[in-house]
């Protein structure tokens, strides 16, 4: 099983599937279909049925039930796209067997040292798949895809393992927050689902941020600086004035755990017009609403000072804390913990400080916790994954479907 997940990850990683936040199509890049078509053929070769790939890049398949019991239909999901934070073109994964705990020199000469990446020490003796130093790896989330595919193949080849109906979904555009936007929950037909999209061994997540995006636009009047007195209105300084009113400590670099933040991500402008893009994040819904209200209030105050057209603050909710939808069905989390215990995996139950397709899917009627897939140092050239962790994730999938059948 270990060699299977390695082979699959390496093969999938070499296919460029980066999504594009600036695109308004679904999927945001047509190259995501390059992997989706490979997966569609592979699902058929493994023996899954009811395989569909729609024009928006959602690939569904079924492993039919082999039990007479009434078992909930389970879904397992992973996303095909990789982040645009770092290049995913010409990915050349490197394999390191029996890792010795020392610094790793990547193919292009970059050094990944345990002094800087202490998480490496957790993998002594294991097989690591790394980048060559020139690209990201794409274990987020091609490790999850490899694990689901390998688990499905194992279940087909071992029909003595009883399970209910299983649905598989490989989806586009998770990295730009649009993964579930055109996901047909009714067509998928699962009662519960799991995303295989977490990090190190043992991660189990069922709480996420409440999230909103904010676009602030300031508008000024450009006059030659030599004759600008009492005439020029500088949109840049107006934007800076807005930013100076934002909380200084509620920012990503100063928060962790359940602490929320307001994060300025982009600033672009000139005298006439400046735009700023923010994200608001908080696990607590009331605090989330307070942050939105505060930003709107600051915008209103600047309108009163400079004029109603001088500044606009557009706030759009993106997703909500999936814990609100999963807590009423906590048995789906308890079953994962039970599966972990069989393999002596200690659950790491922490809130997700980021997004996951499960956040939106849970509010669409499909409760979807997130399980580890193994990736570390994701979204960059120092990304790596342990083959042993991927193997454990595959075994956890197989155990979960058995536990549901046995209840």
Q: Is 331 in contact with 156 (CB distance < 8 Å)?
A: no
Give me the catalytic one of 141, 147, 173, 174: 174
Radius of gyration, alpha carbons of the chain: 23
140 annotated as belonging to a binding site for a ligand: yes
The DSSP symbol for 69 reads S
Vertex 53: Cα angle to 21 and 11 (nearest 5): 70
Q: Coil, strand or helix: which one is 211? A: strand
Which of 16, 81, 207, 357 is catalytic? The answer is 81
The question of whether 20 is a catalytic residue gets the answer no
The number of beta carbons lying within 10 Å of the beta carbon of residue 404 is: 24
User: Does the annotation mark 174 as catalytic?
Assistant: yes
Concatenate the DSSP letters of all residues of 25-60 into one string.
SSSSSTTHHHHHHHHHHHHHHHT-EEEEE-TTS-EE
Q: Do the annotations mark residue 175 as ligand-binding?
A: yes
Give the three-class secondary structure for 332: helix
* Distance in angstroms (rounded) separating the CA atoms of residues 255 and 196: 26
79 carries a ligand binding annotation: yes
Q: CA–CA separation, 106 vs 85, rounded Å?
A: 20
CB 172 within 8 A of CB 79: yes
- Please write down the HEC assignment for all residues of 143-208: HHHHHHHHHHHHHHHCCCCCCCCEEEEEECCHHHCCCCCCCCHHHHCCCEEEEEEECCCCEEECCE
Asked if residue 7 belongs to a known ligand binding site, the reply is no
Residue 235, helix vs strand vs coil: helix
| Maximal C-alpha separation, the chain | 85
Measured over the CA atoms of residue 318, residue 321, residue 327 and residue 333, the dihedral's sign is positive
Binding site, residues? 79, 140, 175, 197, 379
Binding site for Zn(2+), residues? 79, 140, 175, 197, 379
Residues designated as active site = 81, 174
């Amino acid at each position: 099983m270990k060699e299977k997940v390695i082979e699959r990850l390496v093969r999938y990683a070499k296919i460029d599937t980066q999504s594009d936040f600036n695109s308004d199509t679904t999927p945001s890049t047509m190259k995501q279909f390059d992997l989706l078509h490979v997966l569609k053929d592979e699902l058929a070769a493994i023996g899954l049925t009811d395989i569909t790939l729609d024009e928006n890049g959602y690939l569904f398949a079924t492993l039919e039930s082999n039990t007479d019991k009434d078992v909930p239909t389970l879904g397992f999901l992973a996303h095909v796209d990789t982040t645009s934070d770092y290049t995913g073109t010409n990915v050349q994964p490197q394999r390191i067997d029996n890792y010795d705990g020392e610094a790793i020199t990547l193919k292009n000469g970059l050094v990944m040292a345990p002094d800087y990446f202490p998480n490496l020490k957790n993998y002594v003796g294991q097989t690591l798949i790394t980048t060559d130093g020139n690209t990201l790896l794409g274990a987020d989330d091609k490790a999850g895809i490899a694990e689901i595919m390998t688990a499905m193949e194992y279940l087909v080849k071992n029909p003595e393992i009883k399970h209910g109906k299983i649905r598989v979904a490989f989806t586009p555009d998770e990295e730009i927050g649009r993964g579930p936007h055109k996901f047909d929950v009714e067509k998928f037909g699962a009662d519960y689902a799991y995303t295989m999209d977490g990090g190190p061994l043992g991660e189990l997540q069922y709480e996420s941020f409440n999230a909103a995006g904010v676009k602030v636009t300031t508008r000024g009047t450009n006059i030659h600086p030599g004759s600008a007195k009492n005439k020029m209105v500088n949109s840049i300084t107006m934007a800076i004035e807005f930013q100076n009113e934002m909380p200084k400590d509620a920012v990503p670099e100063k928060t962790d755990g359940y602490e929320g933040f307001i994060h300025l991500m982009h600033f672009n402008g000139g005298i006439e017009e400046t735009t700023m893009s923010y994200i608001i994040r908080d696990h607590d819904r009331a605090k989330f609403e307070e942050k939105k209200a505060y930003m709107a209030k600051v915008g209103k105050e600047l309108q009163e000072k400079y004029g109603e057209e001088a500044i606009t603050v557009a706030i759009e909710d993106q997703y909500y804390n999936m814990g609100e939808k999963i807590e009423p069905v906590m048995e789906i989390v308890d079953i994962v913990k039970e599966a972990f215990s069989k393999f002596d995996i200690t659950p790491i139950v922490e809130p997700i400080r980021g997004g996951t397709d499960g956040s939106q899917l849970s509010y669409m009627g499909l409760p979807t916790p997130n399980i580890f897939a193994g990736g570390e140092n994701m979204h960059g050239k120092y990304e790596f994954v342990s083959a042993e962790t991927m193997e454990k994730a595959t075994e956890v999938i197989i155990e979960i479907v058995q536990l549901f059948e046995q209840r």
